[in-house]
Amino acid sequence: MSANPPRRSGAGKESLWVVVPAYNEGAGITATLRALSAQCLPPAGVVVVDNASTDDTAEVVRAYAAAHPELNLELLHESQKGTGAAADTGMRHAIARGATHLARTDADCLPPPHWTAAIMRAFDEGLELVAGRLRPRTDEFPLNWKERWLLPVLQPLAAAFGRIRPGNQGPDYLGPYVMSPACTLGITAELYERCGGFPRAPIEEVHDDRELVNRVRKVTTAYGRRRDVWVYWSMRRARAYGLRGTLAWYARPGRRDKEMAKEVDVRLPRPRPRRPPAGPPRRPRRVDEADLVGRVLAQAERTPGAVALVHGPGDRQMTYGELRHRVLAVTHGLRRAGLRPGDRVLLGVRHSAATVIIALSVVAAGGTLVIVDPGAGPQMFAARLRSARPRWVIAESALYSLNRLRVLRGPARRAGLLLPGVTDPALRHVRVGPWLPGVPAGALDFAELMRGPAPETAGERDPHAPAVVVFTSGTTDAPRGVVHSAASLAAGLRLCRDRFPLGPGDVVHDAGFMLGLPALIAGARWSIPAARDPVDGFLAEVARRGVTHAFCVPVHLAQMLEESGDRLPGCLRYLLLGSAPVPPAVLRRAVAAAGGRTEVLSVYALTEMLPVAIADAAEKFAHWDSGSGGDLLGAPLPGVEAKIAADDELLLRGPNTCLGYLGEPPLEWLETGDLARLDDRGRLILIGRKKDMLIRGSANIYPGLYEPAIAALPGVAEAAMVGLADPVTGDEEVVLAVVPDGDVPPAALRSRLRRALPEVIDAAALPDRIEVLPGLPRAGRSHKLDRDALRALVGEGRGTTGPVRGR
């Protein structure tokens, strides 16, 4: 017999079933079944094998099956004691029902949403047995530091011991030993039958996972571990008998004594019903709709065990209860250290779970968070710092070192992290991360603040007081800081939530607060991207974390689709695109990649007002096809007022408008700088930027009016128009820069555009020159089109191509 016979294949014929042995798991198996229902790749069937339970496990499973008919859930009974026997019964039943591939987890484990997809991916790579890893559950009870470190220590020790264990060595084995926890593995049906499957023996006599791996090793070498195949493992046994007992359970062969038999059946206790408090019942906590932090804390109080944040390269989780405690603790620590209402706090921390805690804590303490992009350059940063006049700085320890140690200032400047004044000893400082040379003396330790006492916040904060300052455009002489209140931010977040519903079970993927805070208020899960690069790993995280709502910038989406082969994860229900106009070609690719599963939305928003309007893909396609010109933004959201000034500038106001600009009087109407019109249905149509207007002769040309129509032409991926002023006449040469989509050669594209443009845009706007470029220059975190850089780029080729129109 060949050591590696061909595995079954064939799209549409593959059928993955999941088997779950269960013994007295009535208190916790519902969570496991919910996790299996939430898989991005739904299993063809789930078999729960009740191993002679004495509690209501079977009743709980039947009730779940009745309430969730979409999950093909079957219940079997196995009277022979032992998870091996129960698992074997379930595996063979699944094979008889048509399963070609099998996966197993246990009734006290939580598979993440990507689990089944990761197992099938490993099968596609040629494995017949897929071994996984374990991560600790944090939702059953708070873990102490020993329990948090148990699995990272236990797994490599157990794997190392397994490799040298005499019972795992011998001439009959075709390959090395690989540790494979039974609660997270996959195996082909063919291999399961060929190797003999799980041993039908009690766990006190034999470890069923080790025996299965050794049986597999005798017939094939197509087995291995995968880092992305993992489950959250119950820590109740570790809580019951400690680190030493847990290590002994996995390290000592043949433990048959009664104590070990007891250990197997450590149960998760059911929560005891709370006795009603003496006296009148406690009234539900009332939270002002405009109290942003209060609403997050109230949600955390209602669902303390649910996961609030997923963050970091290892997909670490933070529950709502943990988030609430840390926010209250940091709030208390900042107030005790002297933070007063109105104090401005400069934030110098990369977006992470710490950023979320800091932002909520500063606002809860009455402070005003100041957000400054360090990439603007040292001069601009210094100017913005002078304008903001913060009293506090909360920054990463490495940032202090880069700006205070002379030897590191050169690298800091090159990395855009030289921030003059950030280490000023006159300011109060909080360091995030371990102490490093350069951290100012007396700086508070953020980790210690989180570990401190966490009393309820005393007193109420005015939701209409300044809460956040965000610096945007401006010069070093007049930097512009947009001032928001908690009320204006809450109003904007409410508009977001109303357009795309959020609730428990949803997972939001966003590096900013636009989707993250509505998720926390709604009891959903906020997935924070782990990578600094906004493209690298984005879609993989979306799939692995089971994301349902994601936000990204159009240019980043284009790169992601290119790398993924125009595929979007199946778990994604809403994809929001913003921060820059969406090119028609990118939107078409996104809709095609979604395959009808995902609603693709374009969000029009400004730093001063978030959001303003939202348009779905079908609306935008219909507008482009109508030939009406401009870019459809959508109808203003409820409560948002819009009017068009005499010069076509869009003016806005509403409950989500900022208070104004730092040091300036409050706004009555927000002057957007965008040129727009309202169609007969009251929808906003963007026709350009006020500062981007071109002048040629007596004609005023608005590039934004024509660029979407040009970008919608065959062969064009993106289009932009800029003007090059004649130094003598002041008249402007109009240059059209296009990026091909790859279907048409550059030379042919110019010819096609010269023929097509007169039918698409006004004669007065026909370009003098067409430049075909590999890409358009972009700037800033949102990668918006950099027209100044484009103007300089096409200026180098002035006169190199023929005109489209006569002059």
pLDDT at 564 over 90: no
Q: For position 260, what pLDDT does the model report? A: 42
The continuous run of DSSP H or E covering 330 comes out as helix 320-336
Over residues 361-415, the pLDDT tens digits come to: 999 999 999 987 766 667 778 888 888 999 999 999 998 998 888 888 778 777 6
Q: How many CA atoms lie within 13 A of 293 on its CB side?
A: 29
Cβ neighbours around 731 below 10 Å, total? 15
Q: For position 807, what pLDDT does the model report?
A: 34
Of all residues in the chain, the percent with pLDDT exceeding 90 is: 44
- For the cut 50, the answer to whether the pLDDT of residue 257 exceeds it is no
Taking the mean position of all CA atoms in its chain, how far away is CA 146? 29
- Residue range 737-750, pLDDT digits in tens: 999 988 888 878 98
Q: Determine the Cα–Cα distance for residues 192 and 203; give it in Å rounded to an integer.
A: 19
For position 15, what pLDDT does the model report?
93
CA distance 5 to 174: 14
CA distance 93 to 43: 15
User: Given this model, what pLDDT does residue 258 score?
Assistant: 43
pLDDT digits (tens, 9 = 90+) for 612-629: 999 999 999 999 888 888
Is 0.85 topped by the overall pTM? no
User: What does the alpha-carbon distance between residue 482 and residue 469 come to, in Å, rounded to a whole number?
Assistant: 5
Question: What pLDDT is stored for residue 536 in this prediction?
Answer: 85
Q: What is the pLDDT of residue 787?
A: 84
Q: How confident is the model at residue 727 (pLDDT cuts 50, 70, 90)?
A: low
d(CA 672, CA 795): 29
pLDDT of 86 above 80: yes
What is the rounded average pLDDT for all residues in the chain? 84
The 8-class DSSP code of residue 657 comes to B
Is the model's pLDDT at 149 over the cut of 80?
Answer: no
pLDDT at 292: 87
Are 29 and 48 contacting, i.e. CB atoms less than 8 angstroms apart?
yes
**What's the rounded mean pLDDT across residues 142-148?**
69
pLDDT of 93: 96
Q: What 3 state SS string does 158-174 have?
A: HHHHHHHCHHHCCCCCC
- CA proximity to 670, closest of 697, 649, 646: 649
Contact 268, 108 (CB under 8 A): yes
Least confident residue range of 11-15, 195-199, 226-230, 700-704? 11-15
Q: What is the pLDDT of residue 337?
A: 95
Range from 324-333, 468-477, 485-494 that averages highest in pLDDT: 324-333
Q: Which pLDDT score is estimated for 264? A: 46
pLDDT tens-place string over residues 156-180: 777 777 777 887 888 889 999 998 8
Q: How far is CA 427 from CA 290, 392, 430, in A?
A: 30, 5, 10
Question: How confident is the model over 238-258, as a mean pLDDT?
Answer: 55
Q: What is the pLDDT of residue 726?
A: 67
Is pLDDT at 605 greater than 60 in this prediction?
yes
Residue 187: strand pairing partners: 102, 129
